[in-house]
Structure 1
Amino acid sequence: MPDWITRQAACARLGVRPQTLYAYVSRGRVSMRADPADPRRSLYRAADLDVLAERRSRSRKPAAVAAGAIAWGEPVLDSAITTVEGGRLYYRGRDATVLAKDQTLEAVARLLRGGDGAALKRAERGEPPQGDTLAARAFLALAQRAGVDPPAIGRHPLALAVEAATLLDVMCDAVAGVSASGAIHERLALAWGCGADRKSADLIRRALVLLADHELNPSTFAARVAASTGASLAASALAGLSALSGPRHGGAGEAMRRLADDARRLGAEQALAERLAQDQRLPGFGHNLYPNGDPRAAALLEVFDPPPALARLRVTVEAATGQAANVDFALVALAEALGLPAQAPFALFAVGRCAGWIAHAIEQGQGGGLIRPRARYAGMRPAASA
């Protein structure tokens, strides 16, 4: 069975009209690529169509609906913060790629929290904890705050806003390794040895804004679950950071870096051929929500030149697979182009996304109840009582 099929075959498999198929594509439910034999035609991923067909045919009982919502499924809660529509990312109705042109992370963090006014005065904070890595310091800093900060539920909105702004600074301090004042992107640029280069600092700023939120991704969902219990903002952010650290989420940059190393060692074509021959995934390319390409990656890659080896890898993979570079590729390319630390892609992800975690935690605490789904038991049946 082919991996990619024509529009006619896709419509027949789902039993829908082309307009419905296009709607599935725009919502990220079905991946689409150009036909290598005829660029004027499009092909559709057969595996995505099979998932949709199975979902359409199965019972719509609550248990079935809930099970289908776990992985890239139906929305599971209401939020006014972020959405992905038509292949674009929007923060409270504003295009994130447009905001990235001139806004700071601090300003976007206020927007995500529901305000768009003047910067708030932060609370006092001490020096960041000591740690061997950027990630270790981030975990320690949030854990220290989570152990002493009060629950977020029932707090005055202004008090939460000040705590939110302070917490974002705490995260930046931990990653930078020093407590300082000034814009977050400038502090990171200075800590990473490129503070005198305004272009480098501006690229860091763009990346932070583009990473600030991404709808109900795994780390944000983890943060909202913690917030639903009334936990402090720091505890919710710590839950988000824990989820982000996995190789299938924020840790994907490390896999992308290994692919880049292979491309430099073997050449882009050979590195790709070996991955495909072993049926291995290609980190840094493709995204379920963006069948026509990740707009965050495009917004970054249009304002700097990736190193030659990575530029060649991008062209090779996109031509061979039809999968466009995603934000993980862009972050690794940015880190290499600017000479940033190896952990910089994860650090940028963590600092930027912390703004979203906090916004979602506040929103969950204000209007959402306890997030407590039920498990559908699949183990041995309990023994009958005597």
Structure 2
Amino acid sequence: MDIPLLTSNDIILLLTSAMSIMIVTFILFMAYRLLSSNRKQAYRTLLISLSFILIQQFLHLSMTLGLTPRNDYLLYTEKLLQVLAFIVINFAIFELYYRIRPRTRLWFIVLLGSEFIACILDIVNRTMESISIEVLTVITEFRAPIQDGLLLLLGPLFMLMFAPHIGQPRKYMISLVIVSLAQLLSIFQTYWFENVRWLTNFSEILPVIYYGLLFMLVFERVVELLQAVYRSSITDGLTNLFNRRYFMSRLEKAVLSKRPLGTIFCDIDNFKRLNDTHGHAKADTVLKQVANIMSEETEGMGLAGRYGGEELVAFVFGPNTAIEHAAEAIRRRTEKETIVTISVGICQASPGIAPEQLMSNADQAMYSSKANGKNRVTTFTI
């Protein structure tokens, strides 16, 4: 079959469709990889919506090139896919931030149902219009006014529904404005200003900008989720301090750097009694308070972590005096700002010492503080 000669408008349509397909393919591949490693419903919804977009774009490109005849069946299919994809993609973006609740799911079903009803009404309307003009007459200009109106209303609706809850509200709202503008231009072109070249070209460029923003939205959210997963794997869920495994790995690197440093080992005094008399909730609150103090006092000069139970640890860069000062500041603030006291042991790193031995020495010094009346700082000595 011969491919008809392309006009300048056709070339712009070809380029914009190709760019849209490329961007959507990137997002689709990303969603597929995420779904294969994490069976999260949001990724599945995203994958479905992107598949709709790709099919619609390929169909649009095929009809633009003349590879597929432009008939009512295919044009209605393209319009149906366009609206369905827009509905599903917005719910997918929302689902990247929040779990879909029954009320939101009801909205999803209602909007999908509205689109199918709109499509049927458009088909019936076109059929009745053909009959009213002349029996066997075919209307050459394709129109789907009900679906066009629905798509135009969806942008403002999603702004109200989802924009306040999306982590990137400005970018999300701009993307919806672009879609609404593209649809408005398409309506003007179809119903009032036919064959206006700049309207046609501009309305075809806008979807490319939308898909670019969509890519940034999804990519940034995925990065946020991956960072959150990584953060949760290296921190303690209660205190938000680094967990023992990560703390020891960082301590090992610090020791290998051969910079002067020392370790601080803290144990909350009479913590079991606090648990028994005030309950676990109160004990957890106190533990978080002490953890915050340790984090603040070591910020910029070291690292704090939870070693286990009520044992909180840190390492601090600097000479022995700097370590003693940090340990005493932690002890003093704990006594002043909380209802508990802590026993503290510190140990200055010596050349060639192993991280485990460094922590063991600080632990021994902490037990010396316990044995000598608690609420004090003891330096490890051989």
Interval of TM-score (by shorter of Structure 1 and Structure 2): under 0.3
TM-score normalized by the length of structure 1:
0.25
Higher RCO structure (Cα 8 Å, ≥6 apart): 1
TM-score normalized by the length of structure 2:
0.25
Q: Which has the larger radius of gyration?
A: 2
